[in-house]
Amino acid sequence: MTNLLSDVSHRRYNPLLGEWVLVSPHRGKRPWQGQEESPDTEVKPSYDEKCYLCPGNTRIGGHENPKYDSPYVFANDFPALQQGGFDAHASDEDSLLRYNSVSGEARVICFSPDHSKSLPLLTPSEIGSVIDTWREQEKELSQKYAWVQIFENKGSAMGCSNPHPHGQIWAQDQLPTEASKIDENLAAYLKKKNSNLLLDYVNLELEQKERLIDVNDHWVTLVPFWACWPYEIMLLPRAHVTSFQDLSVEQKDALASILKQTLTRYDNLFKCSFPYSMGWRSNPFDRDAKEYWQLHAVFFPPLLRSATVKKFMVGYEMLAEAQRDITPEQAALRLRECSDKHYLSSL
């Protein structure tokens, strides 16, 4: 099948979202005269006195950061979600102008006090501390909210407004659109197959070995069969794990290890600090969904051909459906061929 699909236009189905992706592998040969990005190859200082997120510095809202020495979490100074919502009835379900109230919180997590170290440059132990923080935040916020979205926008190419390595946590009292689609499709798969979709999927990928990047005893990173972005990856547990609360010590340590390994390959691909948007999907916390849900992360990096040429989701993608130029199998091979020793380690 891989040979058949390697050089002809075709569509692939995403069973999580119930959507199709157009794959056009022959387009990789086209010339490029469009916009080029400035690659992030700068070696940053460990501390930047002008950075709003460095230890001891004052943020734009006037709050002073403590001189933290481990992951630091604070309430976002400009939150997209507010607690309490508004005291008003939602619009009529038959109305063309529908709205409802939403209540939530938004937080920022600085991964490390070191301004220069993104996740792949941290030690496995330091990444383990980040995972512990994700778990603690999820546990706290899940007591109040239906959905806890842990994510990171890395690099200016993905809209990151501050270069200090950090992520965010948004929690809300309703399932957002993508989570609702996934919840519906996972539940439908369980009803039809009497099994967990993502557990079945990871076992299929382990059997075929075409789209794998890294594998250890507890986790797998791979380019999903239905990937949209050129070097999109999924990070999946090999056992049934529905949220960070389910992780054993061994699973957490293995997660730290594979995160460092695969994200190092990202940076090594084009010898730059590889930009991406990533996010974790845990089970919803307002329903009994543990049987069919599976904890997983997705990484959406924009770079296509080099550190300066990125994929634009425009035109056809905005009007019709997602489209990609290289096949997921080709992307996985290129990432597997990258070293898991960071290129900056030799400088």
Catalytic positions are 166
The set of residues, in sequence order, having a beta carbon less than 8 Å from that of 23 and lying 6+ positions away, is: 5, 9, 10, 11, 12, 323, 324, 327
Do 276 and 158 form a contact (C-beta atoms < 8 A)? yes
DSSP string computed for 28-56: GGS---S-----------S--TT-SSSTT
Residue 53 CA to residue 183 CA, distance in Å, equals: 35
φ, ψ of residue 339 to 5 degrees: the values are -70, 150
Identify the CA nearest to 262 among candidates 274, 250, 244, 249.
274
Residue 140 CA to residue 293 CA, distance in Å, equals: 20
Residue 41 CA to residue 27 CA, distance in Å, equals: 28
Structure tokens at 186: 């996972």
Give just the sign of the alpha carbon dihedral 171, 296, 305, 116. Answer: positive
Burial pattern 22-52, b for ≥16 Cβ within 10 A else e, equals bbbbeeeeeeeeeeebebbeeebeeebeebb
